[in-house]
Amino acid sequence: MEIVIEPAQGIGQIKLGMTKDKVQECIQYYTKFYKSISLTNNLFDYFFKIEYNRNGEVCFIEVPCNDKGIITCKLKDIDITNTQAEELIAKINSIEKYDEDKSTPDTYYYFKSLGLSLWRSMSPSDVDIQDQDWFKELSPEEKEAETSYLYFESVSISSPDYYSQN
């Protein structure tokens, strides 16, 4: 399934400024529509992390990027889910430079005019781990877990005033 990220607007069907009722309608849509491709029944109940402002409107939307077999997140023509972090930052930086004051290089990047944030919990480089003896001894499943940190774990869209409120 592909979820489109719209800068400064929303992620998939869920848009900034929506009410809780509208968000629930979107989640029901996803649950009903994608049930046919055998996703678990309640995936979308927990998939989107939504925060609301004082007026009860969506001001922050976050989705995981690490469900590679199920979900693909795209920003314009950029595959956020399957592009390694360093390459992804370079691609998005060519559209809009990240905010150096609000970013933490290697783990968190914020693109203010896009309302876009990318996050991962740690930042090994491909070179760092692929050539290590300990890595070569891991099972395929363990290797996959270790290399998952080469990618961002979540992407979010926020309203322009979100970070000044929180």
Mean pLDDT calculated for residue range 144-166:
86
Q: How far apart are the first and last CA of the chain?
A: 32
Q: Which helix (H) or strand (E) holds 157?
A: strand 154-158
Contact 1, 70 (CB under 8 A): yes
Task: Indicate whether 134 pLDDT > 60.
Answer: yes
Tokens of 52: 């609301």
Q: Give the per-residue pLDDT at 149.
A: 82
**How would residue 152 be classed by pLDDT, with cut points 50, 70 and 90?**
very high
Report the helix count and the strand count for the chain, using DSSP H and E: 7, 10
Task: Indicate whether 41 pLDDT > 60.
Answer: no
The string of pLDDT tens digits covering residues 73-93 is: 999 999 999 999 999 999 999
Give the rounded percent of residues in the chain with a pLDDT score beyond 70: 87
Backbone φ, ψ for residue 73 (5° rounding):
-100, 130
Closest CA to 61 of 9, 111, 100: 9
Tokens of 90: 């370079």
- Cα–Cα distance measured from residue 151 to residue 131, given in angstroms and rounded to the nearest whole number: 18
**How would residue 68 be classed by pLDDT, with cut points 50, 70 and 90?**
low
**How would residue 67 be classed by pLDDT, with cut points 50, 70 and 90?**
low
Task: Indicate whether 126 pLDDT > 70.
Answer: no
